[in-house]
Copies of this chain bind each other. A is one copy, B any other.
Amino acid sequence: MLLYLKEEASESDVNNLMERLKWMGLVAKSSGHMGAYTVAILEGIDKNVDRDAFSTLPMVKEVRELKHAFKLASKTAPDHKSQVRIKDVAIGSDTIAIMAGPCSIESKDQMDTVAAYLAEKKVQILRGGAYKPRTSPYSFQGLGEEGMKFMKEAADKYNLVTISEVMEPDQIPLLSEYVDILQVGTRNMQNFSLLKHLGKIKNPIFLKRGLSATYQDFLMSAEYILGHGNPNVILCERGIRTYETHTRNTLDIAAVPILQELSHLPVIVDPSHAAGIRKMVRPLSKAAVAAGADGLMIEMHPNPDEAFSDKDQTIDFDEFAKVIKELKPIAKAVGKTVL
């Protein structure tokens, strides 16, 4: 159930309404979008509740049934679109957000080289993994805190925003200190305990779609974070698992416009994991932006052949420059800019 408030509603009106709903035994959440308030009732509406009563509550202009099980992630209006802001970056705006860097943080030098290159190219977001979810327990598991330090140092030097993966609740305090955006990996998309904990912090959460998650599953996982209090969620389509083995995964390009129709959250595409093939990063990046993606996450390394992980899909600086160059006219064609 969604209550649209009258335009003249003030913050204190909203608070009064929230109190009243609580007294009615309901769990509700208010949000302000474009100067207008809405209140979503999340829990407690059972057969004893008279739905007509809601429209008589003070300051309520309109009452609408929420179509989807994901309530806070749902759009409340066709043009409802959230921006996630970190420092001077706004994800979900007319500027395509580019996140780039290696799969694994490997050394201080590596981070510095990558950060310097990104800064030179005016790319604002540096990615790199300190904790790596590897299929094999015997593969490189990441540098941990040391890696985060390398990343933070480089980011501070070149004034970049950072993103890195979190794998368990206990890593949250440390990671949220070193890193701006916390990433939830594909394999943890339905690690509901982790999601709940991430709902209690303020850092933006970059949520990757599970290997075989439906749009509904994906948005329900976003809802876990939103419902526990963190409004800063960014969705990432990174390819799903299908029968096709030529590519590592199958990029579901339709996820971009569909998620944007179902939800107000920004949608990023990861063309590196989607195909698992270096050569595919360029065409898939262009397709993503043409389909309306709010940004891209790209694996890039000074020397991909020597990367500790994901080398088959990681591009070098030259190829990255070509990606950006070819993206520019595409972004322009859809009324946006890149960098």
Contact = CB atoms under 8 A, between A and B. Distances in A.
Interface of A: 27, 42-43, 69-71, 133-138, 167-171, 187-188, 190-196, 210-212, 214-217, 220, 223-224, 227-228, 240-247, 250-254, 256-258, 261, 274-275, 277, 279-280, 283-284, 286-292, 326, 329-330, 332-334
Number of copies: 4
Contacts of A257: 279-280, 283-284
A256 to B, nearest CB: 7
A169 to B, nearest CB: 6
Contacts of A251: 252-254
A247 B262 CA distance: 13
Contacts of A216: 135, 246
A246 B330 CA distance: 27
B253 A287 contact: yes
A88 to B, nearest CB: 27
Contact of A283 (B196, B220, B228, B256): B256
17 contacts: A137-B192, A137-B196, A137-B223, A137-B227, A169-B169, A188-B190, A214-B246, A240-B244, A241-B243, A242-B252, A244-B252, A254-B275, A284-B291, A287-B288, A287-B291, A330-B333, A333-B333
B242 A242 contact: yes
